[in-house]
Each structure stands twice: as structure tokens, then as C-alpha cells.
Amino acid sequence: MTAVKSLKELRGATPGAHPSLGGNAPGRALRHHCAPSFVLDLKMEEAARSAALLCSVFMSGSAPLLGGQLSEMGRLQAAVLRRSRTQEALDRDRRRRQYLRRRRAFLLSSIAGILSVIPTTRRPIWARRRIRGENFWATAESYDEDAWKAQFRVSRSTFDYLVKLIGPSIQRRRTNYRTPIEPRRRLAITLWWFARSGEYRSIADTFGVGIATVCIIVRQVTSAIVELLCRRFVSLPTGQQLDETIRGFADRCYPLCAGAIGSTHIPIAPPRDNPDHYVNARGWHSVILQGVVDHRLRFTDVYAGWPGSNSSASVLASSDLYLKAEDRPDGYLFPREKSVLSGGVEIPVHLISDVSFPLRPWLMKGYSDEHQLSPEQRRFTFTLASARSVVDAAFMRLKGRWRCLLKKSDIDVSMMPKVVAACCVLHNICELQGDAFLPEWNVQMAPSGTYLIQPDVVPCQEETHGTAEVVRRTIAYNLLSILQH
């Protein structure tokens, strides 16, 4: 009886240990999710049960119960054996999974190492060959100087100079898929588009590249020109360069002038957002280019992108040039020590403009009412207009060389400020390199009908600036004496 009672106590002590001992669902879940240390504790518990059962058998004096106790002990040992085999199977599966993961990682790293040393191969499935464009570029490289300039609007020496300046920034990395387009070809595609503003499809056929590739190259090269070269080749004169500019305008019979400012309209395709804002007085869509030009027809300041419906005065008021002059305490744009005293009035170095701009001490313009002008005022207005003609000449050369500024282009309006600025930078480089402007490029600038005719100059309606009016009157009545300084 003591052994039977001990056996019942053992069964009731661990109700979820094993199904053969009356285990329930939580016991089965514990068997599948317990940690190896906990499984070891269960094995030790089973061994303790077997030991307790043997002790109860030997201490009991009842012989009829010995067979049942031995049967129960056999079942306990069988359960321990099954549990041990199950744990061994789980360990084998775990070790197999670890082995498979390590083998997979080794295979992938081996494949990556092999691919890294395989040389680049051409894959025609990703790059369709265009024989015509390749032949054209190969032929263009052998052009003489005149044929090269007729195609790209710059001399070969200027082209090589540009490649040296921006070549590293437009060079693309060689990959396993294809050989990148070389910088010379990229620059040639961009200059071709600047010079003609043709469709991307025709340029793609000419140079043997994809249509999307032409669009990408034009944007990348344009951005490189603006970001790398704009500050270097487009800046207001300072130091010795300022003195040379003042002497250059003095040779044109106007004193103390550091540049002439003007604006022109650049045609664009109607944009998606607010297209009415870009319609100018002539009825066509445009953006405004405001530029300052020195006596050598080079741009010293460029501000572009404002919608064509705005006036020259409003564009100037939003430019960095205006803020730079107006934010200074003395209101001078150029060093004050360059100023000249005449009749007790200090005359600063200044810019000159037409009547569409406001009158400021640093910005002079002629008189607008010619019927009521004195001879001195009329002479001053004529002299200023003659000196200011450098702006019109610079705009004429700019558009004659780069015809993308003469007609609507298929590039987005958000990109047009960079395109205009890049063309101005290229214009300055050509002037610095002595790259002559061909006469036939002027003939191609003739507008068709009334479409490309620039809007008329509208006088700026603004309150008279007292100091500026005094400076203008002093220059008008003392023009010859000021020129002698």
C-alpha cells in the first residue's frame, strides 16, 4: 500500500510532465519550447522518480505489488529514453540549419569575389548600337577649324579649354554594364543643343545615344558649367579690372561707369503652372534675363528666370545686385574712393541703364522727355545711350551664338535660369579666348513675323530719388570736366 501511495503521489506531483503520466496541453507545449537546461531538470526528475519507486519496492513487504511497480518503472524509463531521443533529433536539425546557412554565405561570398575580377563586358541587350551617331562623332573629331566652329559655335581650342575645366566633373564611372560616354562627347552634345535647341530625338540620332540620355547630359553639363565656372567668369569688376572698365567707358565719352545694365526676354514653352504669368507685353511666353555688361561686351552680373510679365524695375528689385547696393550704409555699389567731386557733389562709380530702370546714385539713366530737355541734358542722354549700347551688342552676340535663347525649347522652365546663365558663361569664355563671332550668325537672328520681337521699353514710374537726381544733373552739366579726371 505504501508503494501504491508513493506512486500516486509521484503521478500527481507533475501533472504536465509527459502524456504517459497524465500530462495535459501545457505540458506538451513545455516539451516543445523549453530550454535545454530545463529538459535536463526533467530528466533528473524522472530519475528521481525511478529511484523513489525502487526504494518503495525494497522497503515494502508486499510481494503482489512488485510486478505492477516494475511495470510502472519500465514506463518511466521508456519515457526518459523517448525524451532523450527527441532532444537529440532537435539538436541534429539545429546543427544542420547552421551548416546550411554557413555554406550559403560562403557560396555567395565566393560568387561576389569571382564577379569582382571578371573584366567589363559589352551587353547589347542593354545598349543598342547606333552606327550613324558614332560615325558622325568620329568624323567631327577630324573636322578642320572652320567646320568645327560651324557645328559647335566655338573654336577647337575653346572646346579643349572647356573640357579641361569641367571634364572631371562630367566624367562618369565605368561599370560592368557599359562604357560611359566620354566628357568630350558630353560637352559636344550640350553645345550642339545650345547652338540649335533641336529636338532630343534628332540630337540622339546624330550622336548615337538615347533620347533620355541627351536630356540627362544637357542638364548635367549645364549644371556643371554654372556651378564651377559662373563665379569665376561672371563677376563685377574690382581692383585693376575696375579701373580698366572705367577707362573703357571713358573712351566712349561717359565717365565713372563700371558697366551697363539691361534686360531681354528669352522665349519658353508655356509652363504648366501659372502660364499667364509668363506672357509678356508682346503676347508670347518668356523669362527675363537681366545682365550687366562691361566695355568688352562681357557679362559681369547675370540674373535670369523671372516671368515675362514683370517689369525691369521689379526684376532689379529682387536681384542680388540691388540688395548688395541698397544694403550698404553709404548706398554705393563700388568703392567710394573711386568717386570724383564736381561742384561740391560727390559722383560715385555707377552703372548705366535705360529708362525702364529706377534712378539711384549707383544707377544712372538718361532723361525721358526729349522735348523739354536742355542741350546739356540732351547731350548727356545721347552719350549715356551710346555707352549703354554694349548691352544690346552683348545680347545680340549671346543669342546669335546660342540659338536656344532665340526660340522655344522643350526643356522645363525650372531649368531655364541655369541654361541662360550657362550660355552667358560660355559667351564670356569665348570673348576671353578671342573666339570671334561670325557675321552669318546675326542673319539667323531675324525674328519671324512679330513672335520674337522684344517688348517695348516702358519708363519706370517711380518717385525721384533726390541724391540720384543731383548726381545726374551734375554729370549732365559737367560732363567734359568729369571726363578729364
pLDDT in tens, 3-20: 444 444 444 444 444 434
Predicted pLDDT at 449:
47
Last residue of one domain, picked from the residues 199, 232, 265: 232
Last residue of one domain, picked from the residues 198, 215, 232: 232
Higher-scoring residue by pLDDT: 466, 290: 290
**Does residue 93 belong to any structural domain of this protein?**
no
* Most trustworthy range by pLDDT among 45-49, 237-241, 331-335: 237-241
What nine digits make up the cell of 413?
522652365
Structure letter (DSSP) for residue 179: P
Please tell me whether residues 216 and 241 are part of one structural domain.
Answer: no
Please tell me whether residues 227 and 261 are part of one structural domain.
Answer: no
Whose cell is 572705367? That residue is: 246
**Does residue 94 belong to any structural domain of this protein?**
no
Please tell me whether residues 194 and 246 are part of one structural domain.
Answer: no
Please tell me whether residues 179 and 249 are part of one structural domain.
Answer: no
Predicted pLDDT at 461:
82
Structure letter (DSSP) for residue 455: P
DSSP tally for the chain: helices H, then strands E? 18, 7
Work out the average pLDDT over 271-289: 93
Would you call 175 helix, strand, or coil by DSSP? Answer: coil
Please tell me whether residues 265 and 178 are part of one structural domain.
Answer: no
Please tell me whether residues 369 and 447 are part of one structural domain.
Answer: yes
**Does residue 44 belong to any structural domain of this protein?**
yes
Please tell me whether residues 319 and 453 are part of one structural domain.
Answer: yes
Predicted pLDDT at 62:
46
Residue 307: name the closest of 283, 340, 337, 285 by CA: 285
Please tell me whether residues 296 and 156 are part of one structural domain.
Answer: no
**Does residue 117 belong to any structural domain of this protein?**
no
**Does residue 96 belong to any structural domain of this protein?**
no
Tell me if 166 sits within 8 A of 426, measured CB to CB.
no
pLDDT digits (tens, 9 = 90+) for 28-66: 443 444 444 544 555 555 555 555 555 555 555 444 445
Please tell me whether residues 385 and 281 are part of one structural domain.
Answer: yes
Residue 353: name the closest of 383, 323, 388, 316 by CA: 388
Predicted pLDDT at 169:
94
Q: Determine the distance from the C-alpha atom of residue 41 to the mean position of all C-alpha atoms in its chain, rounded to a whole number.
A: 67
Q: How many domains does the chain have?
A: 3
Would you call 81 helix, strand, or coil by DSSP? Answer: helix
This prediction's pTM: 0.72
Tell me if 474 sits within 8 A of 485, measured CB to CB.
no
- Report how far residue 478's alpha carbon sits from residue 265's, in angstroms, rounded to the nearest whole number: 36
Least confident piece of the model among 50-59, 142-151, 389-398:
50-59
185 band by pLDDT with thresholds 50, 70 and 90: very high
Handedness of CA 205, 207, 211, 215 (dihedral sign): negative
**Does residue 115 belong to any structural domain of this protein?**
no
Distances in whole angstroms, Cα of residue 238 to Cα of each of 72, 245, 264: 109, 9, 26
Tell me if 190 sits within 8 A of 221, measured CB to CB.
yes
Predicted pLDDT at 74:
82
Predicted pLDDT at 376:
93
Please tell me whether residues 182 and 156 are part of one structural domain.
Answer: yes
Least confident piece of the model among 74-78, 233-237, 252-256, 268-272:
74-78
Asked whether the predicted pLDDT for residue 374 surpasses 80, the reply is yes
**Does residue 108 belong to any structural domain of this protein?**
no
Predicted pLDDT at 11:
45
Distances in whole angstroms, Cα of residue 223 to Cα of each of 157, 211, 382, 432, 467: 22, 19, 40, 21, 41
Please tell me whether residues 418 and 391 are part of one structural domain.
Answer: yes
Q: Determine the distance from the C-alpha atom of residue 377 to the mean position of all C-alpha atoms in its chain, rounded to a whole number.
A: 50
> Domain range for residue 383?
236-483
Predicted pLDDT at 9:
47
- Report how far residue 397's alpha carbon sits from residue 445's, in angstroms, rounded to the nearest whole number: 10
Last residue of one domain, picked from the residues 232, 259, 286: 232
**Does residue 331 belong to any structural domain of this protein?**
yes
Please tell me whether residues 163 and 279 are part of one structural domain.
Answer: no
